[in-house]
Amino acid sequence: MMAGQATDELLRTLVLILDLAGTFAFALSGAMAGVRRQLDIFGILVLSFAASTFGGITRDVVIGAVPPAALQDWRYLAVSLAAGLICFFWSSLIEKLRNPVRMLDAMGLALFAVAGTEKALAFGLSPVMAALLGMLTGIGGGVARDVFLAEIPGVLRSDLYAVAALVGAAIVVIGHLLHFPVVITACGGGLACFTLRMMAIRRGWHLPQANDRNRSQRQDIG
């Protein structure tokens, strides 16, 4: 009994840490996108909060963990606002990183995909549903950011965005089924998701697109 309680406490702590880290990464990503669009400070803070909490809120609503953690724990709001202020006042320092928005987005994607899967498993969802919900948690922040900026969400365009999140979530689920330590599976899933996403960005990996197929058909006809 004591061992089970210790495991549950470790899982809750791990999910919280991953959630807050993902919140910070997605908040930076959203805020930097707002800076590039020359939003005012209020717009940047709104965008940082929306981008950093949408995926987690969606996850919590789906599994019935209401009110969502992002709306009842002040730390989520504090982390997202701090990230927004950092980007507003020191955006030039963050811009020195190579592809800062995409890199931060990849970090948030990995952290939220893992946290979402772990929390879904903790609430008793089946392995397949837990992996899908982990993917949804991961892509939610990026979708919210792009929608607020009137852009087509990256998950609908290519770049192995949702696929990377699903791979990370699947690794967490497999580790859970094999009874591996949660820290190891979380690190493995997060690293796999982040690596796949960054490799897709740098090497131009993407899923087949509609224009690719149409171009191929025109070449066959020609």
* pLDDT tens, position by position, 169-215: 999 999 999 999 888 999 999 999 999 999 988 887 777 766 655 55
Confidence (pLDDT) at 1: 45
Question: Residues 146-175: pLDDT tens digits?
Answer: 889 888 887 776 668 889 999 999 999 999
Name the residue with tokens 């669009």: 37
Distance of CA 113 to the CA centre of its chain: 6
- Which token pair is 209? 């697109």
Give dist(CA 164, CA 154) in Å, integer: 12
Show the tokens assigned to 22.
């993902």
pTM higher than 0.85: no
Sign of CA dihedral 105, 106, 107, 111: positive
6 or 143, which is more confident? 143
